[in-house]
Amino acid sequence: MENVSFSVDRGEIVGLIGPNGSGKTTLFDCVTGFLSPDAGSVVFAGRDITGLPPHSVSRMGLARSFQQVRVFPRLTALENLRAAGQQHQGVHLWSGLLPTRRSRRLQRELDERGLELLAVMGISSVADLPASTLSYGQQKLLEICMALMSRPSMLLLDEPVAGVNPTLIQAIKDYIRRLNAGGVTMLVIEHNLEVVMDVCHRVIVLDSGELIAQGPPEVVQTDERVLRAYFGK
């Protein structure tokens, strides 16, 4: 990527689109600490987080999902959520081996938070099922719940509706709106342009590692540079 500069305002849902290989996931990796940018800086909530490791970025309130679903297949859905929330609650291995009153209280709080999120996503029934037995769409929702265990102020979603059926796509759109209404700022990578144009307040377009357009959905979708990038027009 080169000279890519943009901002996301508190409370926005911003779409990040572009052809395959345009640099969208690489940008996510740089923002969340999975890659270190060669130049430039990443600023979150007024603080320079450039080069910080992923766990530090997450603890600051910036969480993400991944293009390829990342869950612990042998753990139940609720156990996945416990694991995702532990580092944010101060629950560690030794406290699990030698439980204390505090550790038991924190574990109850994790379970309550996990069950609440599963209910919000409409998948309470899978709480005690191994993640490997869930449908792909349910695993997508579980991964979003895992990101939300830290109560982030900003959530980065990498292709949240890829590979899921139309009914679940509508449900995920509703969940995105609901989370945003609850105060979560969002940056969303998505190839389904109908979803982007429907839920995003603003859209940013990358092509070959360069920012070629940004603005309201209705403006971006008629931009000549965007049409050329997608359709060669």
Model confidence over 17-64: pLDDT tens digits? 999 899 999 999 999 999 998 899 999 999 999 999 999 999 999 999
For the domain made up of 1-61+154-233, give the CATH fold: Rossmann fold (3.40.50)
Q: How far apart are CA 66 and CA 156, in angstroms?
A: 9
Q: What is the pLDDT of residues 173-222, one digit of tens each?
A: 999 999 999 999 999 999 999 999 999 999 999 999 999 999 999 999 89
106 compared with 191, residue with greater pLDDT: 191
Domain boundaries, the chain: 1-61+154-233, 71-151
Lowest mean pLDDT among 56-70, 83-97, 103-117, 161-175: 83-97
Distance separating alpha carbons of residues 71 and 76, to the nearest angstrom? 10
Phi, psi of 232 (to 5 degrees): 70, 20
Question: pTM of whole model > 0.85?
Answer: yes
Which pLDDT band holds residue 11 (cuts at 50, 70, 90)?
A: very high
**Helical pair 136-148 and 77-89, crossing angle rounded to 10 deg:** 20
